[in-house]
Structure 1
Amino acid sequence: MSIDSYDPCPCNSGKKYKFCCHSIGDEISKISHLHETHQTATALQLLDRLKKNHPDQPLSYITEAQILMAERRFEDALKPLEQCLEHDPDHPAAHSLLATSTFLALGYKQAQKTIYTALQKCAAIDVSLATPLAISIAIALQMRGFFLAAREHFALAMRVASQEYKQNLFMNLLEFDGDDQIPYQFRGVHILERCPIENGDQQETFEKAQRLANLGCYRLAASLFKQLAEATNQPTLWKNAAFCYAWATDEIQAAELFHKAATIEDDFAESVELETLAQLLDLNNTGDVVESVEQVYELDSLSKFLTILEQHPQLLRGNVPPPEQEQELDERTPVAYFQIIDTPIDMESKGEDITLENVHVVIGDIDVFDADRQLGQPGLVRLYAYEGDQLTTAEKLFDEALGEQGKKECGLKVVEQDDEISSNPLSPIPAEQWPLFFRWSFPQKMPIIKRRELEAQQWKKLISETWSNTKLAGLDHKTPQEAAGNEERKVALTAAAYVLDAQVLALGHFLNFDELDPSLGIFELPVLSVNESSHFNTCSSMTQNRIPVKELTDSQLMYVFNRALLIRHPRFLYDVLIEILNRDECKKEVDLDRVYSTLTEICHKRNQREEMLSWIHQGQENAREQSENAFESELQWKMRELSFRLEDTTDPNLSDFMKQIWDQYGKKTPQIKEYLKAFAQAFDLDLPWMKAATLLDQGGVPGQTTAEGIWAPGEDTPDSESDSGQKLWLPGQS
């Protein structure tokens, strides 16, 4: 190893290399090379010998554990780390790796004691050694749905990391906070608040709990905060205890304490926020769910199977997305996909007669996998559907489509599926959320705008009628209608509306409170009281949405703008963007292209078509004023406008708009004409001018397209290069 004798030892003991593992450095270097060249067995054999000859050198134990962890042999990695700690009980890196391996092998709850020991040992010598542990926990907990705990462990990793890793960790936090599939109340910062405590011993206990929480020892901190809360009954202490339990993944206990804090909190808005967190955690841990069920079949004849299924009017074949580049070697990609719908679709129809009463409902999915002869794996069919009527009907239609004869011809037979290796992609849905969940299918020729109008009607009905009459656990299994008018349930009812707000956002819609039944008496929470000295860096996402943006100074507005763009709650973000555009100084500080495109997206979700088009036109005007890349930027806006106009193929201005793009941009960027032809074909548009123009075009003119998307004469470039170089925004791209 080319390490200076007085550099820190690579085993991360905190000692100098000369006084720690210097004597085995060369052997470790050779062993690491063996592992890197996939000679892991030999490397491990040499490490065994090295440990026997130099039992007091930590680097051999650390290296063995790292190799085993790299091979995902987490349980095997525990032994060398425990051996290392027998020789050096305070070795921080050994504690950190032991905690990481234990967590990955056994889970957070079983590894908790080991994790807390590691965090405290690292803090005593080099707290940055806890960074890999914290980030491993954060990623795993996010995947398992412990969102509050995951977010706090990302923040913990940021707190303990050395400067060189902070940028990557910051990006992890940004990605988490921008994930709209996570309830927005779980995203963003949550802090442990201080409160007046007169008793000296209790104040000392508070400080100890705060220190433990800062280290990441959340259950220990939770226990102390709960002890203080029981002694003083202060809502802030119940709240702190609840957050620490949530960060320790004990969401059931956390929900209980959030409920309790909400009942004794005097401030109505704060009480609603606490109750909202409690209800969301209750939903995250409810056993009352609608489960999805997977049926698996082996298949002998793929072609025969596909031919039979394609003939059934309620089994619609869809497009299979291309496999991901980073796909695991043992993952199989479906070669065909079908939707199972409740009633036959007339595929030639334009959907004129489709209403909420007869819309086609998707009740199941079928993935089809070809056999893998090299691995000896048979063809597979996976049928997914939610339990109840949908599953019963889906299975009935599947059997009906094939018939006994078809099953024999295809060689179809049921496979007994182990639940632990099920690949079912449909997540369980809380029973009270099930009435909000719908999946529809439409004829291909039905205008997108009509589909969106139907979806808007459905959401209006679900929010104003269905939800009002759905029994909710947060209301003691009463409906909002039954809870309305009861002053004692006002907090819980308002919180239930904010839970609904999070749910519909995850389902692609968003709630306007005036959509709720007025008889429920539910209103948005009152705005915060702010002044020039107000700071918002400790505001939760739910509190942030109450900020009165018109009352902010320019600097305050810019800070809130950046936070709002990250969390992306549409109601609040819209207000922030409008206020930005009303202030000349703020407009100079922002990317106006992003502002106009975000407003376009929000209005598109709201089905506010005219306002959406007005923001697109302002985006185009802004693009024309740019000195750099004005042509490309304006063209991107034109294509964005086209994608929205194509949603309504009856738009009388659509043909002229497409001709404008053809004439204005087609000469400099010839592939635009190909895109327009493709759109005309896909949307079945009758455009006489395009046919005439195509006849006049001289085919086969040599040329090439630059990275900026501009065509220039010369030799043709290969298609692959042209495709990879184009940067134009197209419908369907984000």
Structure 2
Amino acid sequence: MSLDPYQPCPCGSEKKLKFCCGADVSHELEKIQLAMEGEQRLAALDHINKLLSTHPKIPSALMYKALVELSLSEVEQARQSTAKLLEVAPTNPPGLALAAILDCQDGNVLAAISRVQQALEQHPGKIHHLVYQAIGTLGRALFATGEVLAARGHLTYQVRVSQGKDETAFSAMMDLDSSGQVPLVAHTFADLVPPPAESSLSAAGLAEFQAALKDANYGCFQAAAKKFEALAASEPNEPTIWRNLGTLLVTLAEDDIAAAIFQKYAAFAAVPRDEAIEAEALAQFLAMNGEEYQVPEVTATFTIDDAPALREAWISNKQLQAITLRPEDMDLAEGEPPPQSAFFILDREIPSTGVDIARDAIPRVLGELLFYGRQTDRAARVEFTAPQLEDWNDRIQKVKTLIGSHLQGDPTEEAVGLANRNAAILAVNWRFPDDTPQEHRKTLILEQRRHLLLNVLPDSVQAGLDGATLRQAAANPQLQNKALATILLMDLAQPQEEPVFNEVRRSLGLPTIDELDPAGRKIQALSLAQLTRVEATKLNDEDLMQAFTRGTLVSCRRLVLKMGREVVARPSLDKVANKEDVFEILSRQSNDPTETLELLTKAQDWAKDRGRSPARFMLQEIPLRLMRGEQAEFTRIMETLRAKHMNEPGIAQGLYMMLAQLGLIRPQGGAPGAGPGGMPGAPTAMPAAAPSSGGLWTPGQPAAAPAEASKGKLWLPGMD
């Protein structure tokens, strides 16, 4: 049976088949559809080619051909078929969508944005399945190329179109939010806002405003942006026009223009100061990829003679720290040999001990040295790479001193990359003596970071402050909000509130950011940045759960930790909140191993008190116990799991996989060999190190070796 000639044409034109590709090809189109639905791609391609031999300009056939070729990984052929489709029907939505998908594959995301917008504008409110697919592909491609806010705009729209039913789209958006790359202030301006009730807009302007919102609701962001841009020119005194225009330009990856727009919005007197500072902070974030926010990473090349003698001397030099570089991890040109040696150069020798070491005695890493011997067409050389900060010449002199009489001529310099200037200024690049206690390291690093924030950063030139320093901007009323925005961006990037940022504000004479009393405030109206300041203990149960949920939905670690801790502490929420899940979320977000263990212990108690299994929390406890060297606790957990929980769904498999990843058992079962104290597979190869930023050690991250224990008391899967 042929396709109904009065049904919509498969090509996506929104015309009836009879009046588009033609009723005379309906039988062949049905054959193609059936073959594709049965995943008989080669058969479908035969039908398509047969149809195109007699009807070479049928959009449906060309669309199907490009689709089949893509599914067969015949990318170049798909590109040709798509080009033919767009030659026949330049505004065909599926053709534009296919071209956008191919653009994404080539990394040309800006062209893909334009094509997707053109496709959506053809039939506003009606989205062909290929256009829907292209939106998701584009969102993921934008994320992969670093356009995180544009990516979020596209993925959010795809989730909204699917009404949350597309798990792939929702998962992609959650992955993006949990990546840590989306600044908290971006969420404040992620959605368009209606015109205020008391607006200065003319009747015509108000109508155009609503028309722009309608376009955006259909995903036609480019059309909506053009309307708001025209409105901004004709009625420039309405702040919401500028705000919405900035939001749309962010989604369209026009970051530079969007930054200027948000700065314009922040300058309106009608915008509340907190919101103005957040808008300025977003503007600075959007502009951050500009060269003025970066510092060049430079490689200085020193030609040397008698390379073997110099290399021998360097191996025993205590101002150099040998490092291991794998050739496969280096960006080497074809045929280029790897360096013979690699070192970190320190500003002083490593002290003999780090016990009770003072902050000013810790060696600082100045950069990386690569040592190359003589090659057929090139003299022996040393390459030094580091950010070109204010002390660059001092660093170069250090290298010259190390090379000494082996130096031949002046070094050459080449920019090899860019690094964020503030990140380079605030980096604590130290080399501790090996015996420095972990707690002492942590204390010293925090002290150094505080020193840099209070005494170094304020006198460094900031691109976001029109070339002024923070100290200069704080003294200039016209630049104070920009200075506050610069500090806010750094403040909100931390997983928890840190008093040092208010110290910075006070030292510069700027207003501090203090906790907000929720009394009389609508919690749902607060931005996420403001919500992190709310006193959790003063929220009622409903508002507390709403705040916690908002934090989890956008993976806002600071908000999740602050509100989640209050959720589990409230007896009144015992029957309202699933505290097992809250405990687990908190344990994964905390960066304090002690707190993480307390949370996991409370989660186990909570589960047991309600007659449920605590096994999943016990599994999460294992890596932490190993990291802390607490073998007695590790053994207790293992024996409890074996005796009580191994028959529970997923527990045996989860334990086996975890122990295999930790290197405690071989994949085929059994211990890989007894370590010190007879502990099978004792993780002695795991170097002592700080836990991961999440507070919970996971396979692949360093952990400390546990203490010794008796061999006979430890059971592992596969040892029965």
Q: Same fold (TM over 0.5)?
A: yes
Question: Is residue 181 from structure 1 mapped to residue 181 from structure 2 by the alignment?
Answer: yes
1:63 maps onto 2:79 in alignment:
no
Q: Tell me the equivalent position of 2:646.
A: none
CA spacing shift, 1:528–1:83, aligned 2, 3 Å:
farther
Partner of 2:700: none
Cα distance in 1 for residues equivalent to 2:429 and 2:556: 23
Q: Secondary structure at the match of 2:150?
A: helix
1:367–1:383 Cα contact (<8 Å) kept: yes
Aligned partner of 1:586: which letter? L
Question: Could you tell me how far 1:175 is from its partner in structure 2?
Answer: 1.4
**Which residues of structure 1 form unaligned runs of 5+?**
297-304, 324-329, 369-380, 406-415, 647-656, 714-734
Q: Which residue of 1 aligns with 2:516?
A: 527
**Aligned equivalents of 1:183 and 1:220: distance in 2?**
27
Classify 1:223/1:549 alpha carbon distance in 2 versus 1 (closer, same or farther; 3 Å).
farther
The counterpart of 2:566, out of the listed 579, 585, 595, is: 579
Code of the aligned partner of 1:233: N
Partners of 1:35 and 1:67 within 8 A in 2 = no
Is the alpha carbon distance of 1:500 and 1:126 closer, same or farther for their aligned partners in structure 2, counting shifts above 3 Å? closer
The one-letter code matched in structure 2 to 1:442 is: F
**Secondary structure class of the residue paired with 2:287:** helix
TM-score of the superposition, structure 2-length normalised?
0.71
Letter in 2 for 1:558: M
**1:248 is aligned to 2:252:** yes
Partners of 1:251 and 1:632 in 2: CA distance: 44
Cα distance in structure 2, aligned partners of 1:576 and 1:666 = 35
Supply the distance in 1 between the matched residues of 2:313 and 2:404 (Cα, whole angstroms). Answer: 6
Structure 2 residue aligned with 1:300 = none
Instruction: Output the CA distance in 1 between the equivalents of 2:517 and 2:64.
Output: 54
Task: Report the aligned-residue RMSD.
Answer: 5.4
- Check 1:130–1:551 CA distance in 2 against 1; reply closer, same or farther (3 A cut): farther
Determine whether 1:705 maps to 2:717. Answer: yes
Within-5 A mapping of 1:35-184: 50-66=51-67, 69=70, 77=78, 79-88=80-89, 91-102=92-103, 105=106, 107-110=108-111, 113-123=114-124, 125-161=126-162, 166-184=166-184
- Whole-angstrom CA distance in 2 between matches of 1:233 and 1:139: 37
Partner of 2:213: 210
Q: Distance in 2 between matches of 1:35 and 1:394?
A: 65
Task: Label 1:29 to 1:445 Cα distance change in 2 as closer, same or farther (>3 A).
Answer: farther
Letter in structure 2 aligned against 1:206? F
Q: Distance in 1 between matches of 2:38 and 2:615?
A: 52
Counterpart contact for 1:147–1:182, Cα < 8 Å: yes
CA contact (8 A) 1:363 1:390 kept: no
Which digits, 9 at most, give the CA deviation of each residue in 1:444-474, with x for residues without a partner?
4433222222221122112222222222233
Deviations 1:17-49 (A, max 9, x none): 994653155578889999978x9xx969x9667
Q: Closer, same or farther in 2 for the Cα pair 1:513/1:624, shift >3 Å?
A: farther
Give the fraction of aligned pairs with identical amino acids, expressed as a percent. 21
- Over 3 Å counting, the alpha-carbon distance change for 1:632 and 1:102 in structure 2 is closer
Give the stretch that moved more between structures: 469-478 or 567-576: 567-576
Distance in 2 separating the partners of 1:401 and 1:10:
72
Asked whether the 8 Å contact 2:259–2:282 carries over to 1, the reply is yes
- 1:292 is displaced (CA, Å) by 3.1
* Residue-by-residue CA offset, 1:297-344 (whole Å, 9 max, x unaligned): xxxxxxxx9999977752433597999xxxxxx9x9x99996624257
CA contact (8 A) 1:146 1:249 kept: yes
What CA deviation, in whole Å up to 9, does each residue of 1:29-79 have, x standing for no partner? Answer: 889999978x9xx969x9667534222433431234335656888787555
Of 211-220 and 171-180, the range deviating more from structure 2 = 211-220
- Deviations 1:237-289 (CA, angstroms, capped at 9, x unpaired): 11111112222222222111211111113412121111111222222334442
CA distance in 2, matches of 1:157, 1:666: 48
Would the aligned equivalents of 1:483 and 1:493 in 2 still touch at CA under 8 Å? yes
Q: Could you tell me which residue of structure 1 aligns to residue 466 of structure 2? A: 476
Q: Which residue of 1 aligns with 2:28?
A: 23
Residue 725 of structure 1 corresponds to: none
State the 1:497 CA deviation: 1.4
- Superposed CA deviations along residues 209-241 of structure 1, whole A, max 9, x for unmatched, are 112222333343223223323415121211111
In structure 2, list runs of 5 or more residues that go unmatched.
302-309, 372-381, 408-412, 643-658, 666-677, 690-702
Q: Is the 8 A contact 1:225 1:240 kept in 2?
A: yes
Alpha-carbon distance in 1 for matches of 2:2, 2:385: 57
Contact kept? 2:243, 2:262, Cα under 8 Å = yes
Query: Aligned with 2:323: secondary structure?
Result: strand
Distance, in Å, in 2 between the alignment partners of 1:566 and 1:162 is 15
Q: Residues 320 and 94 (structure 1 numbering): CA distance in 2 closer, same or farther, change over 3 Å?
A: same
1:518 aligns with 2:506: yes
CA distance, structure 2, for counterparts of residue 5 and residue 116 of structure 1: 30
Call closer, same or farther: CA 1:47–1:461 in 2, change over 3 Å: same
Match of 1:267 among 252, 256, 272: 272
Q: Distance in 1 between matches of 2:72 and 2:401?
A: 44
Question: Structure 1 residues 263, 660: closer, same or farther in 2, change over 3 A?
Answer: closer
Question: How much has 1:561 moved relative to structure 2?
Answer: 0.9
Quickly say closer, same or farther: Cα 1:447–1:208, change in 2 above 3 A.
same
Distance 1:453 1:286, change over 3 A: same
Residues 69 and 660 of structure 1: CA distance in aligned 2, closer, same or farther (over 3 Å)? closer
Matched residue SS, 1:441: coil
Contact persistence 2:346–2:364 (CA under 8 A): yes
Q: CA deviation at 1:639?
A: 5.2
Deviations 1:666-697 (A, max 9, x none): 69769698379435995699999947x34xx3
Q: Which amino acid aligns with 2:430?
A: W
CA distance in 2, matches of 1:123, 1:104: 26
Q: SS of the residue aligned with 2:344?
A: strand
Distance 1:496 1:344, change over 3 A: closer
Aligned residue pairs: how many? 638
CA distance 1:475–1:72, change in 2 (3 Å)? farther
What residue number does 2:546 align with?
A: 559
AA in 2 matched with 1:435: I
Q: Distance in 2 between matches of 1:9 and 1:69?
A: 21
Supply the distance in 1 between the matched residues of 2:49 and 2:704 (Cα, whole angstroms).
76
